[in-house]
Each structure stands twice: as structure tokens, then as C-alpha cells.
Chains A and B, each alone.
Chain A
């Protein structure tokens, strides 16, 4: 009977990191192939983007609404009520919407991808694809990661728009402010330096969500319980990636003077 070899934990971490890097190379190598699965990409965009929209829309609207209601008393105390639209717009666009929407999508999308690919692995569908000559990375991984990279920024933009709408609704509870005045004030304070880093950041968040979900699902063990583990670890890891990437993005944008 073969004796089980003990591997120290730091080596396991390094092995995991190495595997992830290799998986990333396989993803990038497969993007630029002739037989790109456009149809599957559209289907994944539908599943990830369109079907996540209601959740993201409600979240965005409520975040804007609640932020306004929370900020209003303090701003009133300082006599700075007129700064609420600017404050809410900058906070939503620079930080709150990208991170919250990415975390929500990590919960919904990354777990879904992890569970889906995990169950395909368990039922040996991935191996069946390889045997039949189809490229599982091309069909399963590339389409999902790219769909996440396309759809998360769009979901974020939608959430930001609805967040501003929520903020407008929040302000109009206490007093009447015309929509023209509100959105004029909000957009006066926003610059391309706010919008573009936020947009670029969400592309990377989308990559993290798709990549972690696919990696965890694609590399799950055999056995039904590994499907749950894959889904769970996909969410946890994707959330961690998002927060770490956000910290790096803030440093980068500050260093670049945005």
C-alpha cells in the first residue's frame, strides 16, 4: 500500500498559485482561436448579465436611496445639503457600486459557475468533451470568463444609474428637488477620472469572478460534495480577489492622480 506523502501547507499554497497561473495561461491561449464559441458567449452573457440585472438593479437603487437618507441629517447639520447629490454620485461611481455589485455577482455568478463546472467534472462531462475532440476550456471557461468581463461593467453602469435615481428619490422624501437640478449637480462633480477607473476596475472584477468560478469548478474533486465545496470556495475566493484588487486599484488611481 502506497504511503501518503505529507506536503507542507505553504507548498500547497504555492501549488495552488501555480495551478491558477497555468489555468490563466490556458484561458488566454484559447481566447484567440478560430473556432470561438460565439453562441455560447451570448448565452453566458444572457445568464450572467441579463438574469443578474433585477438583483443588481434593486441593490443599486436601494444603496443610492439609503446613502442619501443616511447622509442627509449630517449634511443638514453642516448646512451642506446641496452637496448631497455630488457626494452620493462620487461615492457611488468611484467605490460603492463597483465593489457591491462585484461582491453580489461573486455570490450569484461565481457560485453558479463553480457549481455548474463542478457537477460537469463530477459527472465526467468535461472528460467526455475532451474525448470527443471538443475543447472544454474554449467552450466552458473562455466564454464564461469573457461574459463576466463584458457583463459586470454593464451591470455596474446600470447600478450606478439606478443608484443616482434612488438618491433622487431619497432626497425627494424630505423636500422637492427638480430632477434637472439634481442630475446637473451630480454630473458637475463627476469627472472622467471617476468614471473610467471605476469602469476599468469592474472589467478586472468580472475577470476575477469568472476566473475563480471556472477554476474552482474545473478543478473540483470527484464526488458530489466537491460540487458544494467548489461553489463555496469560488464565492469566498472571488470576494477576496475583488477586495484585494480594489485596494490595489485605489493605490493605482491615486498614484496616477485620478
Chain B
């Protein structure tokens, strides 16, 4: 059976549409990977690329401007990362710009972030070297965190031991908190202190009335009174805004009072 003209046309349209979709898809993917349009190349060297892969994005001022083209090991401590960047971004990436490896969100893909440092530097050359900062090694961070956790475990264990001993009434703090004997002893000591201070105040009163020390206590009481009068005078004169003459007059009056 021969294919009719209509069947041929429909098949042709269907095939054409399918191929257009395929080519459109390829074009979109290629565009995202910077395969079409003007581009330039730069490279950087890192001690540790931290899981960066070919095809990961390169970001400049928060905009995806390129992709990682290739990653090669160039020595036992260095890896070279080649990047392909859109030509549109070329005038803004200077020779002193710094590339570091970051992450797109907490769980996102790795990417290269290019940061500008100054406006004065010259524009980076095609196939030029860009300065780099090595990424934070997650393994090292985890190592530190695990050491902190180990220390915390030791500390909490020791604290738990201390708390158990205190609860059991062992040691000075435990005895202090849980022993009745100590509390009774303390109570007794406080009673003794009370009695002692009462006796002492009686003795002091007796001393004040003794003829040998009577004069001393009187002198002390007078000095106290004089001090209070001076302070009262100072307060009065500062509040009244007196001139020099009035101040001298008031001082003389005060001296008279003090002599009396």
C-alpha cells in the first residue's frame, strides 16, 4: 500500500516538529553551557577544588557569567580550573579579582565566585590567570567540630560525676548541702555568735562610762558634730550663690560657732 500525499505531509510535519524540539533543546542546553556566543577564557589554581565539577557555574556580582570548562591536576598540591566566561562580563573582571569556590545554598552545587577588589586594575586578559582563595575544607571543619564534641563529652561526664557525688552527700559541698550535722553545728555557731556580740556590746557600754576613756568618747562625738556643721554650711553656701564678701562673713560666723 502506498503512502498517500496527506500521510506524507503529516509525517513530514511531525518529523520536522520533533527535530525542531530536539535542536531547540540542544540550543538551550548549549546556551546555558556558554557554547554559543562570544566568550573568553581564564584559569585559576587551587590547592583543593572541594568537589567542583566541570559544568559548574561561575558567578560574578551574583550573576552566572560562565561555567567551569575543565579541571586538571597540575602537581601533587595544585589543580588548575579553566573557566569560560561570557564576553559581556569581560570589561568588569579586573586582573586583581579573586576567585573562590563556594556553594549554591546549603545543599547546592559547588560554584566559582569571582569577587572584584578594586576599580583601578586593568581588565583581565583572555586565557589569563586569576588569583584564588582556597575553599574551607569541610573535612577540617568536621574534624574541629568532632574535637569540640569530644571535649564537651569529657566535661559533661565530669560534671555528671560531681553532681552524683554531691547528691550522695560526698565532699565538702555534698556534706554542706545534705548533712544535718553541719546544719546543727552551724546553728550552734550562730547562737554562740549572737551571745558573744551581746556580751561585747555590754562591755563597750561599760567602757564608755569608764572615767579613763570618757574624755576620748566625748571628743570623738564633738568632732563628729563639727564635721556635720561644716557639711551643712557647704550645702547652704553653694545653694545661695553668695559673692566673696558674703562668703567670708559666713565663714567667720561658722568659725565662731565651732569655737563655742
Task: Answer yes or no: B215 CB below 8 A from chain A CBs.
Answer: no
Residue of A nearest to B22 (CB): A157
A124 to B3, CA, bound (A): 23
Of the candidates B19, B26, B30, the one whose C-beta lies within 8 Å of that of A154 is: B19
Q: How far is the CA of A26 from the CA of B2 in the complex (A)?
A: 24
B7-25 to A contact mask, C-beta < 8 Å, 1/0: 1101100110111011001
When C-beta atoms are compared, the residue in chain A nearest to B14 turns out to be A50
On A, residues with C-beta under 8 Å from B are 39-40, 42-43, 45-46, 49-50, 53, 80, 150, 153-155, 157-158, 160-161, 183, 187-188, 190-192, 195, 199
Question: B7–A43 contact, CB under 8 A?
Answer: yes
B100 at the interface (CB under 8 A from A): no
Q: Indicate if the CB atoms of A45 and B11 lie closer than 8 Å.
A: yes
User: Contact residues of B with A, CB < 8 Å?
Assistant: 1-3, 7-8, 10-11, 14-15, 17-19, 21-22, 25-26, 28-30, 32-33, 55, 107
User: CA of A155 to CA of B11 in the docked complex: distance in angstroms?
Assistant: 12
**What residue of chain A has the Cβ atom nearest to residue B109's Cβ?**
A189
- Say whether B28 contacts A49, CB under 8 Å: no
Interface pair A157/B18, CB less than 8 Å apart: yes
Identify the closest chain A residue to B12 (Cβ). Answer: A42
What are 23 of the A-B contact pairs (CB < 8 Å)? A39-B2, A39-B3, A40-B1, A42-B7, A43-B1, A43-B2, A45-B11, A46-B8, A46-B11, A80-B107, A150-B15, A154-B18, A154-B19, A155-B18, A157-B21, A157-B22, A161-B25, A183-B28, A187-B32, A188-B32, A191-B33, A192-B29, A195-B29
Q: For B30, list chain A residues within 8 Å (CB).
A: 192
Q: Which residues of B contact A199 (CB under 8 A)?
A: 22
Q: Between A and B, how many residue pairs show CB distances below 8 Å?
A: 66
Interface of B is mostly: helix
CA distance A28 to B22 in the complex (A): 27
List, in ascending order, chain A residues with CB within 8 A of B55's CB. 191
Give Cα A150–Cα B22 distance, bound, in whole angstroms.
13
Q: How far, in whole Å, are A135 and B211 apart by their CA atoms in the complex? A: 152
In whole angstroms, what is the CA distance A187 to B21 when docked? Answer: 13
B3 to A, closest residue via Cβ: A43
Is the CB–CB distance between B11 and A50 below 8 Å?
yes
Q: Is the CB of A158 within 8 A of B3?
A: no
User: What residues of B have a CB within 8 angstroms of the CB of A43 in the complex?
Assistant: 1-3, 7
- Contact check: which of A53, A183, A188 meets B14 at CB < 8 Å? A53
- Across the interface, name the chain B residue whose C-beta is closest to A257: B54
Q: What's the Cα separation between A43 and B28 when bound, in Å?
A: 32
Residues of B within 8 A of A155 (CB): 18
CA distance A40 to B97 in the complex (A): 63
